[in-house]
Amino acid sequence: MFPGNFAWGAATAAYQIEGGWQADGKGASIWDTFCHQGGRVLGDQSGDVSCNSYQLWNQDLDCIKQLGLTHYRLSFSWPRLLPDGTTGHVNQKGVRYYSRVIDDLLASGVTPMVTLYHFDLPQALQDQGGWTSPRIAGLFNSYAKFCFRTFGDRVKLWITINEPYVCAKLGHEDGVHAPGLKEPGTAAYLAGHNMLRAHAAAWHSYDSLYRAQQEGAVSLAINGDWLEPLRAGSGEDRAATERCRAFTLGWFAWPLFVTGDYPEAMRSAVDAQSQKLGYNGGSRLPRFSEDEPAVLGTADFFALNYYTSRKVKAGGGGCGRMSMKADRDAEEVVDPSWPVCGVSWLAVAPPGLRKLLKYIKDTFGSPAVYITENGFSQTGPLQLEDEQRSGFYRDTLSEVAKAINEDGVDVRGYFAWSLMDNFEWADGFSARFGLFHVDFADAKLPRTLYRSGREFAKMISTYK
């Protein structure tokens, strides 16, 4: 049903679990700043302590062992390793922390997958323009090379940047994620462009300097919903669906896997809207320079974060001013037959994952695929016997098996989000995605296995 070497994993991110925001020489990140401004996160909560994994790593490792995971996806905190974002100041205590985590995982027979950037940019670099600055690609490349050099003898699966779409749009268009910018129609495209430049530079550095000796693989984690027309017979809805796909998954997958540039549907929509609004500042969607490392071919596998599906109908973008919504000119709606779990945006639709995997195979040249995030949230009263989430994992893994066995998709692994309840960005601690519950009201932050965790562990032991 699943290949014998299939990666059974769970995922976390540094800012969401580590705490220790000022411990042992760590620099400030944009999420430290964003949370401390107040009024940004539900209940003014923050990741200052969160699961305190910086001090309680042994408990996390026990959780990983209890589940029987073969792989664990974690992220490095850039400002914990390089407090000002540059290699001019290396925090050796941060280096020792991640070295210990990696060594403990390997000693336990667990393969680490490391994400270099999961939303927590050093504040020192944000002060210089952050992801909207052209300099950021070179700074990220220096950070990536430092990590490859320091940890690459033990880490063989690398993700450069997690969900550049979310970082660009929510952080630079909508302002609901750090750094909290609201510059609609411009900053998100620029941030996304620089993230692709940064990723490509890091991939080429790995390829030329480290691959031969370290024999690892590098990619970019792209989030994507499954999208389909609201009215199957409507040409307008079909075209709107393609636009939506171009502005989300395609925005980052097309340059990496298809043409080395953005989808034509995306560029033509942006340029047409600019012309309509009388914008004369050149294309708002930047172009890649031939003087820089090529973006095409800089993914050794397709790293997919999938959570939900949407139906798409034409229209909904006519607001008379520049914005990504206006450029896209399409509206996404939830099928009422899909149950919504916890957070309002998460409609549960496991069949959409199979459809998306098949689309990736057909569109991007049958790449090896790791499902690097997928999960089910719980809000409101705690339910340790979370039967719904247990069913979700059974249904989802059944769809993944069909994608492998019936559709011929080369799926190499599945990482549940998340190992444990954690700080869920603007939702704070109100949304619980964990296989383990964390009691944030208890200073000891005990981890307790959910029923879904027990069921997930059984599935792993059955199939691996």
**Local confidence pLDDT in tens for the 464 residues of the chain:** 899 999 999 999 999 999 999 999 999 999 999 999 999 999 999 999 999 999 999 999 999 999 999 999 999 999 999 999 999 999 999 999 999 999 999 999 999 999 999 999 999 999 999 999 999 999 999 999 999 999 999 999 999 999 999 999 999 999 999 999 999 999 999 999 999 999 999 999 999 999 999 999 999 999 999 999 999 999 999 999 999 999 999 999 999 999 999 999 999 999 999 999 888 888 899 999 999 999 999 999 999 999 999 999 999 776 778 999 999 999 999 999 999 999 999 999 999 999 999 999 999 999 999 999 999 999 999 999 999 999 999 999 999 999 999 999 999 999 999 999 999 999 999 999 999 999 999 999 999 999 999 999 999 999 98
Distance CA 63, CA 448 (A): 9
Sort strands 436-438 and 447-449 into parallel, antiparallel or unpaired. antiparallel
Residue 14 belongs to a domain: yes
Which residues are CB-contacts of 449 (< 8 A; sequence separation ≥ 6)? 63, 66, 435, 436, 437
Q: Are 299 and 203 in contact (CB under 8 A)?
A: yes
Tokens representing 450 are 């959910």
Q: At what angle are helices 249-257 and 164-172 packed, to 10 degrees?
A: 140
Distance CA 18, CA 16 (A): 6
Let me know how many helices (H) and strands (E) the chain has, helices first.
Answer: 17, 13
Nearest-5° Cα angle at 74, 354 to 422: 85
Active site residues: 373
Closest C-alpha to 418, from 456, 385, 380: 456
Residue 290 belongs to a domain: yes
| pTM of the complete model beyond 0.95 | yes
Q: How far does Cα 422 stand from its chain's mean position? A: 15
Residue 1 belongs to a domain: no
Residue 43 belongs to a domain: yes
- Site of tokens 């017979």: 233
Q: SS3 for 233?
A: coil
Distance CA 22, CA 309 (A): 39
Distance CA 74, CA 85 (A): 19
The domain that holds 344 is classified in CATH as: 3.20.20.80
Q: At what angle are helices 164-172 and 187-205 packed, to 10 degrees?
A: 150
Task: Give phi and psi for 233, each to the nearest 5.
Answer: -90, 0
Domain range enclosing 239: 7-463
Residue 2 belongs to a domain: no
Q: Are 32 and 20 in contact (CB under 8 A)?
A: no
Q: What's the number of domains the chain is made of?
A: 1
